[in-house]
């Protein structure tokens, strides 16, 4: 932050505007030409929107359960879909920090992992119910994230990011290595809650939690706390002049992020049914950052889509899908391995950073920015191809 104009000992560089500028800036303010809220689509417009909404609902709700679905989907694919939903919760968790509050966390694997091991320990070793365990995991997530925030917020910028990175490594190597709690190398079993053992039912359970997280995230941004975060993200000085306790609200962002991460962790544990600490390595934290940024900061839909995409990429389902598709066109079915020379398990490692670079250079708003015309249209507004063209998200938006 430049303090040039504040240290009044240095003469002001910009100076007062000249006469010409003065008249220019005082030209009458263009009234809002088309009050966006007034416009309502016609009957055909509503029908078209309804059809798209139905298609999306079908894709999300009916397809994985093989109900009303022309394609048969195997249980493994449903598990991948559940993973995508869990990743979406994880993405929204990181997004509270990265998108709403402008703080980066490179230790998110610890946030999620702690939730996973807490839940597994409570269910397997203490015999608690899943519902109690997920609540405790969320609470634990909030506590550890707040503690990390309290320590690391003493630093800013790159050093702050380094502390979160170190915390992730600490959790990975020390915390998750406590055999009595985490089962060590053998892993810790975590049974699915009764009634949700089948992949389909577990998928719906995850979906319900995603809905809850989206609702909470939405309420956050529409109320006091979210507004405070938006203000302190952009300008902490103005935020404090508005009476916002910058530190307290940054810590609140950490706590909320921790709650969401705890939920995601608990769901991960019971999804895998046995969790090992190697699932929570630094790569996971990196994937979280990638999917949040590629999904689009400040776009809830974008983050959900981006996270789901990265889950599919991680699981190798993306590679299988692409190879199946080009295999159908007569190419060799091991396209990535034999043509590009890239083993299938490394595709995710290459595609992710490429997408990140494309996002940062072309679409700082990520997927959320690219689909803005569609989401706005679905929201009952006029179709505008240029919606989202205003660069609401800047690359340097995230401190650190």
Q: Interface residues with other proteins (CB under 8 A)?
A: 5-12, 15-19, 21-27, 29, 31-32, 35, 215-216, 219-220, 222-228, 230-231, 234-235, 237-246, 249, 252, 256, 390, 392
Would you say 5 or 125 has its CB closer to other proteins?
5
Report in angstroms how near the CB of residue 12 gets to other proteins at its nearest: 5
Would you say 6 or 185 has its CB closer to other proteins?
6
Please give the Cα distance from 259 to 157 (Å, whole number): 24
Please give the Cα distance from 240 to 274 (Å, whole number): 46
Is residue 284 within 8 Å of 112, Cβ to Cβ?
A: yes
Would you say 23 or 332 has its CB closer to other proteins?
23
Would you say 80 or 134 has its CB closer to other proteins?
134
Would you say 229 or 291 has its CB closer to other proteins?
229
What is the CB neighbour count within 10 angstroms for residue 400? 17
Report in angstroms how near the CB of residue 18 gets to other proteins at its nearest: 7
Report in angstroms how near the CB of residue 359 gets to other proteins at its nearest: 19
Residue 95, token pair as written in the block: 């997004």
Report in angstroms how near the CB of residue 211 gets to other proteins at its nearest: 12
Is residue 188 within 8 Å of 124, Cβ to Cβ?
A: yes
Residue 261, token pair as written in the block: 């991460």
Would you say 36 or 185 has its CB closer to other proteins?
36
Report in angstroms how near the CB of residue 205 gets to other proteins at its nearest: 21
Using CA atoms, how far residue 10 sits from 18, 191, 246, 371, in Å, is 21, 66, 28, 46
- Percent helix, strand, coil in the chain, to 5, is 70, 0, 30
Using CA atoms, how far residue 76 sits from 7, 21, 313, in Å, is 62, 65, 15
Report in angstroms how near the CB of residue 152 gets to other proteins at its nearest: 20
Q: What are phi and psi of 189, to 5 degrees?
A: -70, 150
């Amino acid at each position: 932050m430049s303090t040039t104009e504040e240290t009044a000992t240095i003469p002001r560089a910009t100076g007062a505007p000249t006469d010409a500028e003065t008249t220019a800036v005082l030209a009458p303010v263009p009234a809002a030409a088309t009050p966006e809220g007034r416009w309502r689509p016609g009957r055909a417009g509503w029908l078209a929107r309804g059809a798209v909404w139905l298609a999306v609902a079908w894709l999300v709700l009916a397809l994985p359960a093989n109900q009303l679905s022309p394609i048969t989907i195997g249980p493994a694919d449903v598990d991948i879909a559940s993973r995508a939903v869990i990743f979406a919760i994880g993405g929204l968790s990181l997004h509270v920090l990265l998108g709403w509050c402008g703080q980066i966390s490179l230790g998110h694997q610890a946030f999620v992992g702690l939730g996973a091991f807490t839940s597994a320990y409570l269910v397997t070793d203490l015999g608690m119910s899943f519902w109690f365990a997920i609540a405790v995991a969320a609470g634990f997530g909030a506590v550890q994230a707040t503690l990390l925030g309290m320590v690391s917020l003493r630093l800013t910028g790159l050093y702050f990011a380094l502390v979160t990175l170190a915390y992730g490594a600490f959790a990975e190597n020390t915390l998750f290595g406590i055999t009595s709690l985490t089962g060590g190398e053998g892993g810790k079993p975590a049974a699915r809650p009764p009634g949700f053992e089948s992949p389909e039912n577990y998928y719906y359970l995850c979906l319900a939690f995603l809905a809850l997280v989206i609702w909470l995230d939405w309420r956050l941004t529409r109320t006091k706390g979210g507004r405070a975060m938006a203000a302190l993200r952009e300008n902490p000085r103005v935020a404090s002049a508005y009476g916002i306790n910058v530190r307290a609200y940054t810590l609140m962002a950490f706590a909320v992020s921790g709650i969401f991460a705890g939920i995601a962790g608990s769901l991960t544990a019971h999804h895998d049914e046995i969790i090992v600490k190697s699932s929570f390595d630094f790569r996971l934290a990196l994937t979280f950052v990638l999917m949040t940024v590629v999904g689009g900061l400040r776009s809830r839909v974008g983050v959900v889509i981006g996270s789901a995409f990265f889950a599919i990429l991680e699981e190798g389902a993306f590679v299988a899908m692409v190879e199946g598709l080009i295999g159908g066109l007569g190419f060799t079915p091991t396209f990535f391995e034999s043509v590009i020379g890239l083993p299938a398990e490394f595709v995710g490692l290459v595609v992710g950073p490429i997408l990140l670079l494309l996002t940062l250079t072309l679409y700082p708003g990520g997927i959320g920015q690219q689909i803005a015309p569609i989401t706005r249209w679905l929201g009952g507004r006029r179709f505008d191809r240029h919606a989202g063209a205003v660069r609401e998200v800047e690359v340097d938006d995230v401190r650190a």
